Amino acid sequence: MIDCLELRNIGNGAAVNISVDDINLRYGEDSVARIRFENFLFLEPNKENSPTQKFAHLRIFINNDDIAPSDPVDFVTWSIPLDFGHNPVAFITTYSKQPHASLVVRFEDVDGASYYQSVTMTVEGNTLRTLQLGRPILQ
């Protein structure tokens, strides 16, 4: 893991208990990688007159949750290819059948109300960039 997803709170209030749903991506006949994101506890909103920008940097991890096969021949297609073990963005670019990745961000407000928000991401160079941001939906 070397990549990070950078989040910025563009809402009016603080976001609490921020998480991003895992992405499952098939990369072989019987192999599915799980791309997961670190959680973040608290992120203040960025206001137009704010002297500093506030960001959350969530580390991105990639692994295969399935039980490793006992046959070494099958292990080669099960394991995350070495070229991508530490580069989830390149892995998404190579194995995604879609031109974009859809993320679901979950968070709470300071009063404890839970929300989720969809974010469509595209790969630009070796980074993920926001393409479209959905509206927060109260759960």
pLDDT digits (tens, 9 = 90+) for 19-40: 999 988 887 777 788 888 999 9
pTM for the structure as a whole:
0.81
Residue 41 above 90 pLDDT? Answer: yes
CA nearest 23: which of 12, 14, 36, 10?
36
The DSSP line for 45-114 is: BPPTT-SS---EEEEEEEE--SPPPSSHHHHHHHSPPTTTTT-HHHHHHHH-SSSEEEEEEEEE-TT--E
Phi and psi dihedrals of 90, rounded to 5? -65, -35
